[in-house]
Amino acid sequence: MKLNLDIQPLNSWINQAGKQPLVIAGPCSAETEDQLVATAHLLAKTGKVSALRAGIWKPRTRPGEFEGIGSIGLEWLKRAKEETGLPIAVEVATAKHVEEALNAGVDILWVGARSTVNPFTVQEIADALRGVDVPVMVKNPVNPDLSLWVGALERINNAGITKLAAIHRGFSSYEKSAFRNEPMWDLAIGLKTLAPHLPIINDPSHITGNRDLIGYISQKALDLDMQGLMIESHIDPSVAWTDAAQQVTPAALADIIDHLALRKPEVRNVEVNDKLAELRSQIDKIDDLVIQKMAERMKIVEKIGNYKKDNNITILQVNRWDEILHKRTSYAKALKLSTEFTEKLLELMHSESIRKQTEIMNKSEAGQAAEKLTHV
Ligand code: PEP
Ligand code: MN
């Protein structure tokens, strides 16, 4: 299934002027006029930035933390734009924010992760945008829920906003990890599969929460064919009022960008394409075999299910499952497959087997007899 989003291409609303990749940068928060304007000048001077970002209304987890400088920040952004020529982007979370940002001539709006989780908030923003031609970027929700992300994009698009992009900023997770927000790349890939024309911009700053990992995540995002990066940059990160650990100076930002390798999704070189096509056809053949073998496996699972039912044996025998897991992972390891991958694959196969056997166990005798009849 594909999403029915009416979207204009990224280059119709942001002028990259040959800069690769697309970079939107600026401080997490506008703090003072000097901090914002000076950062903007240094960013513009790198020649690598296509738009300036700054939060002026900050959604904070705890009350009493710095909640953004507020509307005065719009004046500072206007000045930064006048002096550097960089288009400006801010986060909006209410209809009032939208109205004020539009009155101040803000070029790009974005919906933050804490707003995307709430359909009421997103709808309020969407209603305020009706009849306005402004680009809007929608961050993924805090929790790993693709539907909420999609729903927010649909609400904004339904309000008539066609200059639309998604921002992948990672997801909250209970498990401890090296990242502030787990990238969960498969969710971003899921969005791309549903809406291939929707640009996705990666936000390595909020994913990592750590400036040392920004280059690594940026490269990965570009390798997954994301259309750009939003990176937090502050003239002096050590004294930043918010998100200090993840901000980089404009010079460090330029260095990160310089070290990124740009790879193309498709190439024109016939030889390269032929070689790729050949390798892909090998993969296709193997995938077909894997599916065929899975179907054969399921047929045997069905037989086992019926046998267990006839002999009153429980579906799950923990020892047997442990044995499968242990034997197969060590075999897979010897074949240079990662244990994590093998375990995931086996668990998937196992849960499907259990589902099938449960179906068999719970089928009434009458149902089974009827099924047999339809098969003859
Ligand atoms: C931000 O971009 O500064 C921000 C608050 O991000 P997020 O909504 O992704 O947490
Ligand atoms: Mn931030």
Place of tokens 């600026």: 26
Using the 8-state DSSP alphabet, how is residue 50 labeled?
S
What distance in Å separates the CA atoms of residue 376 and residue 374, rounded to the nearest whole number?
Answer: 6
In the predicted structure, residue 368 carries a pLDDT above the cut 90? no
Q: Is the CB of 111 under 6 A from ligand 1?
A: no
pTM comes to 0.84
The DSSP secondary structure of 325-341, one letter per residue, reads HHHHHHHHHHTT--HHH
Provide the pairing of β-strand 200-202 with 136-139: unpaired
For 206-240, what is each residue's pLDDT tens digit? Answer: 999 999 999 999 999 999 999 999 999 999 999 99
Residue type, 344: K
For the cut 50, the answer to whether the pLDDT of residue 337 exceeds it is yes
CA of 91 to the centre of ligand 1 (A): 8
**160 C-alpha vs ligand 1 centroid, how far in Å?**
24
Q: Give the three-class secondary structure for 231.
A: strand
Write the pLDDT tens digit of every residue in 72-107. 999 999 999 999 999 999 999 999 999 999 999 999
Which amino acid, residue 83? Answer: E
Which residues 6+ apart lie within 8 Å of 365 measured at CB? none
* Ligand 1 closest atom vs CA 55: 3
Q: Is 28 in the pocket of ligand 1 (CB under 6 A)?
A: yes
Q: Which residue, judged by its Cα, is nearest atom 3 of ligand 1?
A: 28
Q: Does 92 contact ligand 1 (Cβ within 6 A)?
A: no
What atom in ligand 1 is closest to the CA of residue 167?
A: 9
Mutate to test the pocket of ligand 1, among 92, 122, 139 (most ligand atoms within 8 A of CB): 139
**87: nearest Cα among 70, 104, 71:** 104
Q: Tell me how far CA of residue 279 lies from CA of 25, 157, 268, 284, in angstroms.
A: 39, 39, 17, 9
